Amino acid sequence: MNGINQLNHESLARARSEIFQADGIAVLTGAGISAESGVPTFRGPGGLWNNYRAEELATPEAFRRDPRLVWEWYQWRRNLMAEKKPNPGHLALAELEERTPDFTLITQNVDGLHALAGSRNILELHGSIWRTRCVSCGGKAAGREPWPELPPRCPTCRGLVRPDVVWFGEALNEALLGRAFAAASACRVMLVVGTSALVQPAATVAWLAQKAGAVLIEVNVEPTPLSARAQFSLMGPSGRILPLLIEK
Ligand code: OAD
């Protein structure tokens, strides 16, 4: 049976009508939206955290201990993501933005696929795997080329360069988070796609929206801690559900 057969079509129609009527929409995405593009998720079947230990690869301590090892992992992930293309889920969100007066896309993903799909108002809460930041001078750079030597060094000060992503134990960019909370508090519909909602502040963004009166719509292949509280919990792959959800 494919995922769509399990979908409740009445819920889909009602959720679609909420989206159709909303002037203000905020979306929160997680790794699941890129799964159909071939980017591995973190948890669940085939998830990265099943085979790798986060504390050895995605913490500031790990980087201090062994920057080369951390970079090898990030270089591997960059190579893997470099060939990936946005899927119909990413494209549907870009299309929805075009016709929604107030639209904010809050993502936990670092893969850059939303921008490639044409989304514009994107808040990358966990940074971007395509950007780097110098640990010494703070200089930032963007690029997709692999480095000849790891770990890379800052062209300005020769300091160590790190991926410009948020690691476990690190604070999120406050300004970005403030914009995400503001968008969540002001939207009419909050759409949460492909996230386990286990990592803060993702879940908080969704709760905040609901508390402020937004309709909470979830799209996921399995239930999450949000499902019971969401007005609509649409079960199925986002690459198939989102195009249906934004149909006029
Ligand atoms: P997770 O890997 O925790 O969760 C992925 C979610 O996507 C799960 O709920 C899956 O059921 C769902 N999913 C999988 N395939 C899907 C599909 N085709 N359509 C819809 N849903 C699907 O990923 P995140 O919630 O993004 O942080 O994880 C949050 C953060 O934890 C990540 O940003 C990362 C990680 O550690 C950092 O690296 C700081």
Note if 126 is an active site residue: yes
| Residue 133 phi, psi (nearest 5) | -140, 135
Mean pLDDT (whole number) for 126-141? 97
- Give the pLDDT of residue 108: 97
Mean pLDDT (whole number) for 180-203? 95
pTM above 0.85, yes or no: yes
Question: What distance in angstroms lies between residue 27's CA and the mean position of ligand 1's atoms?
Answer: 14
* Residues 37-87 pLDDT 10s: 999 998 988 888 888 888 889 999 999 999 999 999 999 999 999 999 999
* Residues 161-174 pLDDT 10s: 999 999 999 999 99
pLDDT for residue 119 is more than 50? yes
pLDDT for residue 223 is more than 50? yes
**Chain mean pLDDT for the chain:** 94
Q: Relative to the CA of 195, which ligand 1 atom is closest?
A: 25
Mean pLDDT (whole number) for 140-147? 92
Mean pLDDT (whole number) for 145-153? 91
Question: What distance in angstroms lies between residue 163's CA and the mean position of ligand 1's atoms?
Answer: 20
- Give the pLDDT of residue 2: 42
| Residue 18, CA distances (Å) to 152, 193, 209, 223 in order | 48, 16, 15, 21
Report whether residue 2 contacts ligand 1, using a CB cutoff of 6 Å: no
Q: Half-sphere exposure of residue 154, counting CA atoms within 13 Å on the CB side?
A: 17
pLDDT for residue 7 is more than 80? no
Mean pLDDT (whole number) for 103-125? 98
Residue nearest to atom 14 of ligand 1 (CA): 32
The Cα–Cα gap between 208 and 179 comes to: 13
To 5 degrees, how large is the angle CA 132–CA 179–CA 102?
A: 115
Question: Residue 160 gets which letter from DSSP?
Answer: B
Q: Half-sphere exposure of residue 204, counting CA atoms within 13 Å on the CB side?
A: 10
Report whether residue 83 contacts ligand 1, using a CB cutoff of 6 Å: no
Question: What distance in angstroms lies between residue 239's CA and the mean position of ligand 1's atoms?
Answer: 14
